[in-house]
Chain A
Amino acid sequence: MNFPILSSLILFPILGALFIFFSKSKSNQNLTTKYLALFVSSANFILSIYLWYSFDPLISEFQFLEDRSWIKGFVNYKVGVDGISILFIVLTAFITPLCVISVNNTIKNRLKDFLVAILVMESLMIGVFCSLDLVVFYLFFEGGLIPMFLIIGIWGGERRVYSAFKFFLFTLLGSVLMLVAIISIYWMTGTTDVTYLYSIGIDPKYQNLLWLAFFSSFAVKTPMWPFHTWLPDAHVEAPTAGSVLLAAILLKMAGYGFIRFSVGLFPLASEYFVPLIYILSLVAIIYTSLVALMQEDMKKLIAYSSVAHMGFVTLGIFTFTQQGIEGSIFQMISHGLVSAALFLSVGVLYDRAHSRLIKDYGGMVSIMPKYAIVLMVFTLGAVGLPGTSGFVGEFLILMAAFKKNFLVATIASIGVILCAAYMLWLYKRVIFGVLLKTELKTLTDINKTEIFILTSLVLPIVVFGFYPEPILNTTEVSIRNFIEAYNININLMVNK
């Protein structure tokens, strides 16, 4: 154990946030504050890339382990990464600086506090993805609620209070049960150490109940149908950067949680609840795609499409196959990039014309050709066209689902058709056609900052579409090992 790289990744943004928070605030120093936040988050990104670089994808054990006694005999501060979690850390560290850059126009008041919230959020998210102790995980997981709640509640739109509370209620009610489950696990086994729990397994008698408790939390966060209604409201009211963080990273905590905890800790129960997950995933894919088709608000449309895309993720995870879980992780990374990009793109329009309604636009390509090009790439990424990152995950998931159940895969594939319909229709209504509205004619194309943000999202979407190996390689061994352990567990417990 040399340099505590994971702890540094967690602590660095918080330290930055503290520094910003206690620095004297003057309105004309906004720019300095922003650069400081940008410096912190970029440095963290570079550190995360270094982490990925020094990560050995051929080892299935947790790496960069740090284990410190925190509350003696109860909780250890234990962090580490494997192929399943490392990419989420990189994703978080990648998205945050983009959010910081994007706040330029959106946030008018209390910029300093906003940046503090974003940085704190980053710390907590990274903490979620690398904590290997249930209590530590829970703290980070729930802690993430608070900055998000504030981001929506303070910097949101007109109905921000309603949305913030809806968000908070939904997610907290789910999480309470998870906390109960974590404590009961501690009583049953005397530990909350995830790796140790993996090795001893959890009594099959209690698995179903515990699984449901974890499920209630993750299903809300994913979100799965019918716990999804908070998401469109939260997105609509949240400022751009908030939506980006929410869609790109917050939702991924649940998908990650499903893999690491639901499947990892309760294999028997996971097997038992497969029909439930499949049905909810399919409903999410078809139902929300149809709902997305009819949306009038761009952000709501993308929010609903997120629910559909996350439906693929849950479907893939519960196939318990190499392609399924690799596909799910890939899909989460890809969706993190694509949804972030889409919300940023909507933000670009909103900053200029102050409307999120589709009918207020039309013919934008005439005045914003560059914008039209990048938005096309993101749209295609969302549609899952081969050659974009969206394709690889979706295809692997469907392929795996097909192995488990023909019907499920067939129905899920219909979602792919619907996705093409609503995304292209959205694009057509906003970008194509004749520019009729006079107030739109004065809008300017994306500026240098926006080009920088958006192209830095175009690049990974396209590169990973053609060459997904960096991601697939990183995850491969860990997932193979994970599935082997899962199958051994199932066999053991069935034989008992």
Chain B
Amino acid sequence: MEIEYLVIFLPLFGSIISGFFGKLIGSRNSEIITSLFVSISAILSFFIFYKVLNENYTNNLSIFTWINSGALNASWSIYIDSLSSVMLVVVTLVSSLVHIYSIGYMSHDPHKQRFMSYLSLFTFSMLILVTSDNFLQLFFGWEGVGLCSYFLIGFWFKKESANAAAIKAFVVNRVGDFGFALGIFLIFYLFETVNYSEVFDLIPYSSDKNLFFLGFELNAINLICILLFIGAMGKSAQIFLHTWLPDAMEGPTPVSALIHAATMVTAGIFLVVRCSPIYEYSPFTLNLITLVGMATALFAASVALVQNDIKKIVAYSTCSQLGYMFFAAGVGAYNVAMFHLFTHAFFKALLFLGSGSVIHSFKDEQDISYMGGVWKKLPYTWILMIIGTLALTGFPFLSGFYSKDAIIEFAYLRGNSFGYFAAGIGIFTALLTSIYSWRLLFKTFHGSFNNQKIKIEGIHESSMVMIIPLIILAIGAIFSGFLFKDLFIGTDSSSEFWKSSILFLEPLSQDHPPLWFLLLTPFLVILAIPISYYLFVKNKKIVSYIINGNLPIYNFLKNKWYFDELYEFLFVNPSKKLGLYFWKKIDLRFIDRFGPDGVSSLIKSISLLAVKFQNGFIYRYAFVMLLGFSALLTFLIIK
């Protein structure tokens, strides 16, 4: 029995036990069993990671055949290499902490078993996704995590907004999956296989293959890359397909931390990195990815500046950081993208769970304009949130510093104008990130207490079962960058650690940018702290002055660039109108009127003319048979 089986299937067993036998064993046991199973899975994942690190361990287990039709052959499989081992660690670690945290966070919820079951099921799907050895199983995991996300966003099923958000998440993701599926079809069309290794082996020989798609002549590899990237954009909430992520905050906060920050939304990054042997042959798509990543990073950061919902700010921040990761993958620094994914998992989960702790203390208040001045009341949460914020903004020597600055540096090192531009956007976004993050922190914990509904005496620190996972994440947020930077992005990381799991056609630049450039980002990031403090705590008039002076821009940002309204106008309403039109006008007015109703009224009038006394349906039956018979006769005569 390989331990991989345990890693993957323990969460599934936990989910089944809690989901189907939850009533039987009680909520406490369900919580313990699911948390325990996922924790064991996490420990074993570390063991696998260790083996990969030290023993060059790889493994490819085939469980059983899934779909086998003609040339198409896909198995259920477990594939372990450097890339999937990193993902295993991230997923199971964050998941186990979120499981434990949920015990505290959901303590008043009547449906704890169901919640834990969904969390474990999600973990299982995510593990299936990252350990696949073929595109089909990847797609399974892809849709599976989407489904669990749907369940968890809509967990509070009585909330209308939660239900709407859940459907939105599923359908928008389906739009991305539509591209992803077409990408898989194209891969199968070209290579007659969907297994990674076989596809990757064939790619170099087909780099100049062209085909006609929707009237355009396109390079086949470019097209595959673009289609797969559309899928990645949906899952990772990149601009145009991002609209579901902020709404997804309707779900319970542990869900946001696990799914919408640390794991599921990074599946898109994982896909691009996993397919680096394809993307490396498509410079065009890589540039496109950089562009999209850049646009998302900037867009989301700009929106995060003016939001007031604590979770939505963090959600837009996630969106923005995912943009950074794509940005890195686009400049060919896949390992840097993975590194940022890795560190981001810690500090973003920390920020989300910290926000959850704040929300919990404020009795489900999420608006930061009704908070403030509670840092003494919530000392642990306060400190932990500061650590998360420092790590996110890239404060020197915390994890974000190593990973985010590396992204900007690699963009700079491209050495062309596109690279400089990208680096410039990266630095500017880092500044915005710092401002909105500190705005959140200051408005939540400092200044005056602004809540009318509860008294400040009523604010209490969360229980230890919620704080301890936060502490573990904080340790990760502080040290993961420093400890793992050589492994992930060191000068010979590609030969030492990543090996064949990531393909670099050209080795990454070993140069270093000039010193002023290296210092610029940390300088701006640190400078933003006093500025934010002044703006959001000391002298709030300036902010309102700026807002009143630029009301159109403020409204534009506040309304998230009007994406939702635009989509409503472009897609949702026309679909509904078209549906109604097709139904009422074409089906009923046209087809039925001239089809069956027309015929039957014709027959009726003829039959009334011919024989008035017979009116039973047996007669009609006979009549229609007669009709058929005469048609036959006519045919014979003509023939």
Contacts and interface: CB of A to CB of B under 8 A. Distances in A.
B510 interface: no
A469 B632 contact: no
Contacts of B170: 420, 424
A290 B582 contact: yes
B591 interface: yes
Contacts of A466: 66, 76
Nearest to A153: B617
B596 A291 contact: no
B596 A169 contact: yes
Contact of B632 (A169, A179, A290, A293): A179
B561 interface: no
Interface in A82-112: none
B463 to A, nearest CB: 29
A34 interface: no
A322 B632 contact: no
Nearest to A468: B67
Identify the interface centre among B171, B174, B178: most chain A CB within 10 Å of its CB: B174
Given A322-B70, A416-B178, A432-B154, 20 more contacts: A165-B617, A170-B596, A172-B624, A179-B632, A229-B588, A290-B579, A291-B583, A293-B579, A294-B576, A294-B579, A323-B70, A326-B69, A395-B67, A399-B184, A420-B174, A421-B167, A433-B158, A467-B64, A468-B67, A469-B68
A213 B117 CA distance: 54
Given A326-B69, A403-B189, A293 B576 contact: yes
Contact of B167 (A184, A428, A469, A473): A428
Contact of B69 (A175, A294, A327): A327
Interface in B587-611: 587-588, 591-592, 595-597, 599-600
Contacts of A403: 189
Identify the interface centre among A170, A173, A386: most chain B CB within 10 Å of its CB: A386
Interface in B269-299: none
A421 to B, nearest CB: 5
Interface in B59-86: 64-72, 76
29 contacts: A165-B596, A166-B600, A169-B596, A183-B632, A291-B582, A293-B576, A293-B579, A295-B583, A323-B69, A323-B70, A365-B157, A380-B147, A385-B147, A386-B143, A396-B67, A396-B72, A399-B184, A402-B186, A413-B181, A416-B181, A420-B171, A421-B167, A431-B157, A433-B158, A434-B158, A466-B76, A467-B64, A472-B67, A480-B70
A432 B157 contact: yes
B182 A410 contact: yes
A417 interface: yes
Contacts of B428: none
Interface in A368-424: 380, 385-387, 392, 395-396, 398-399, 402-403, 406-407, 409-410, 413-414, 416-418, 420-421, 424
B635 interface: yes
A322 B628 CA distance: 37
Contacts of A230: 596
Given A420-B170, A432-B163, A406 B600 contact: no
A212 interface: no
Nearest to B604: A165
B312 to A, nearest CB: 22
A363 interface: yes
A326 B72 CA distance: 12
Interface string A275-300: 00000000000010011111100000
Nearest to B629: A176
Contacts of A291: 579, 582-583, 587
Identify the interface centre among B64, B575, B576: most chain A CB within 10 Å of its CB: B575
Given A169-B600, A399-B72, A417 B174 contact: yes
B223 to A, nearest CB: 9
Nearest to B624: A172
B635 to A, nearest CB: 5
B547 interface: no
Interface in B550-604: 575-576, 578-580, 582-583, 587-588, 591-592, 595-597, 599-600
B273 to A, nearest CB: 22
A334 B144 CA distance: 19
B624 A229 contact: no
A406 B69 contact: no
Contacts of B578: 290
Interface in A299-347: 321-323, 326-327
B613 interface: no
B178 A395 contact: no
Contacts of B582: 287, 290-291
Contacts of A287: 582
Contacts of B596: 165-166, 169-170, 229-230
Contacts of B136: 395
Contacts of B158: 363, 432-434
A1 B214 CA distance: 54
Would you list the 6 A-B pairs with minimal beta carbon distance, nearest first? A322-B70, A402-B185, A290-B579, A294-B579, A176-B628, A386-B140
B25 interface: no
A396 B144 contact: no
Nearest to B593: A229
A363 B157 CA distance: 8
Nearest to B151: A376
A226 interface: yes
B160 interface: yes
Nearest to A293: B579
B600 A165 contact: yes
Contacts of A168: 621, 624
Nearest to A386: B140
Interface string B27-70: 00000000000000000000000000000000000001111111
B608 to A, nearest CB: 15
A472 B69 contact: yes
Contacts of A18: none
B106 interface: no
B487 interface: no
B243 to A, nearest CB: 15
A402 B178 contact: no
Nearest to B178: A413
Nearest to B65: A469
A82 to B, nearest CB: 17
B182 A402 contact: yes
